[in-house]
Amino acid sequence: MHTGQAEQGGQGGHVHADSVTVRAAGPVDAAALVDLLEDPPPSAYRIKGVVAVDAGRGARPYVVNVVGRQVHIATGPEGVEPGLVAIGTSLDKAAVRARLEGALRPARGRSTRDGVRRLVQHKRLSV
């Protein structure tokens, strides 16, 4: 878990962007992941990372990117440490961390059909 702060400078002022990173311990539940991606914490303008989801044929990695309210999902690379980072200004870091941890909680078996359907729907729309 990592909490950071980055500066983006411009002439006349600085905008501070906070970040919260949470690693995943294994495959996550598709429904919990999509719930987070569709309704991100209000202060997070970006969420990105790689996560594994078991849709019934073994765990598969997915790259996820949320910018504003736009959700993009693609097939992910093998061998990448899974996790998510949320980026925003004035993040309530404890609340954001709790939301990320909830979405990245290890799944108990494979994901539900509805969760997988929602994940795949976002992936199809991301092409």
pLDDT of residue 66: 97
Show the domains of the chain with their CATH numbers. 2-125 (3.30.1220)
Predicted confidence (pLDDT) per residue in 8-39, tens digit: 444 456 678 999 999 999 999 999 999 999 99
Nearest to 34 by CA among 114, 126, 97: 114
Residue 99 has pLDDT above 90, yes or no: yes
pLDDT tens track for 42-89: 889 999 999 999 988 889 999 999 999 899 999 999 999 999 999 999
